[in-house]
Copies of this chain bind each other. A is one copy, B any other.
Amino acid sequence: MNFSTSEENYIKAIYHLQQANNLVTTNELATELNTKAASVTDMLKKLKTKKMLHYEPYQGFTLSNEGKKVALGIVRKHRLWEYFLVNKLEFGWDEVHSIAEELEHIHSPVLIEKLDAYLSYPKFDPHGDPIPDINGKMETTKQINLTDLELNAKAEVSAVGSQSSELLELLRHKNIGIGTVLEVIRKFTFDNSIEIVIKKNPPFSISHQLAQTLFVKPLYVSATDGSITK
């Protein structure tokens, strides 16, 4: 089956929304895609006839198994291109999203397999999100929200919850990126801000709002020699 750019954008958006909610609603999707509910309904009908969706009028919708496969293919392309842009063309990781939003629609299976090989089969994109393999399988690293990290536990930043340029600007300013190892040394109940320390640098605090968008993989410090493992 062949899909237009627009159909692909809808399928991918539904995929992301149903990760959180399972059942997706018309208005949710309209908001996500900056379009109107009426336009969404039109597309839902089309995607249903293409067997991409489970959808009954007024009842919400989810991707069919076939739809999920298509979605994972687009996500795969998006994240591989992002990896390419950052690691080969030296873009900043806060500059690549919108370009990948176009590149993900280039239709050529062999292109994406050769790109994957060229990049040495990366497992995560520059934002810490896992890259599905050719069969749609991807790492499910047990990452937790930074707000849930316990006091005095070391952890490695593994993903960010948004790609907004405002967020990425702030992270760059604070020198936090994917792979940064940090430790929470204090939590303030007044505003839920937390104080963290990176390496031997002076501690600094980050807001609850920022902590909520950061995901980390806890690191386990050996009791005997102090070495760090994941």
Give A89 to B111 CA distance when docked, in angstroms: 8
Are A90 and B106 in contact, CB atoms less than 8 angstroms apart? Answer: no
Give A98 to B106 CA distance when docked, in angstroms: 11
Question: Considering only CB atoms, which chain B residue lies closest to A96 in the complex?
Answer: B111
Q: Is the CB of A107 closer than 8 A to any CB of chain B?
A: yes
Q: Is the CB of A58 closer than 8 A to any CB of chain B?
A: no
Cβ distance A90 to chain B, nearest Cβ, rounded Å? 7
Out of B102, B107, B110, B114, name the residue touching A108 (CB < 8 Å).
Answer: B102
Consensus secondary structure, chain A interface: helix
Per assembly, the copies of the chain total 2
Given contacts A89-B114, A90-B114, A118-B88, contact A99 B108 (CB under 8 A): yes
Point out which of A98, A110, A111 has the most chain B C-beta atoms below 10 A from its C-beta. Answer: A111
Are B99 and A106 in contact, CB atoms less than 8 angstroms apart? Answer: yes
Are A115 and B89 in contact, CB atoms less than 8 angstroms apart? Answer: yes
Residues of A within 8 A of B (CB): 85, 88-91, 95, 98-99, 102-103, 106-108, 110-111, 114-115, 118
Give A102 to B102 CA distance when docked, in angstroms: 11
Give A111 to B85 CA distance when docked, in angstroms: 8
List of B residues within 8 angstroms of A85 by Cβ: 111
Cβ distance A166 to chain B, nearest Cβ, rounded Å? 20
List of B residues within 8 angstroms of A102 by Cβ: 106-108
Question: Considering only CB atoms, which chain B residue lies closest to A114 in the complex?
Answer: B89
List of B residues within 8 angstroms of A90 by Cβ: 114, 118
Given contacts A118-B88, A118-B89, contact A106 B103 (CB under 8 A): yes
Question: Considering only CB atoms, which chain B residue lies closest to A90 in the complex?
Answer: B114
Give A59 to B163 CA distance when docked, in angstroms: 51
Cβ distance A182 to chain B, nearest Cβ, rounded Å? 30
Are A111 and B99 in contact, CB atoms less than 8 angstroms apart? Answer: yes
List of B residues within 8 angstroms of A108 by Cβ: 98-99, 102
Give A107 to B103 CA distance when docked, in angstroms: 10
List of B residues within 8 angstroms of A110 by Cβ: 91, 95
Point out which of A89, A95, A110 has the most chain B C-beta atoms below 10 A from its C-beta. Answer: A89
Question: Considering only CB atoms, which chain B residue lies closest to A89 in the complex?
Answer: B114
List of B residues within 8 angstroms of A106 by Cβ: 99, 102-103, 106
List of B residues within 8 angstroms of A111 by Cβ: 85, 89, 99
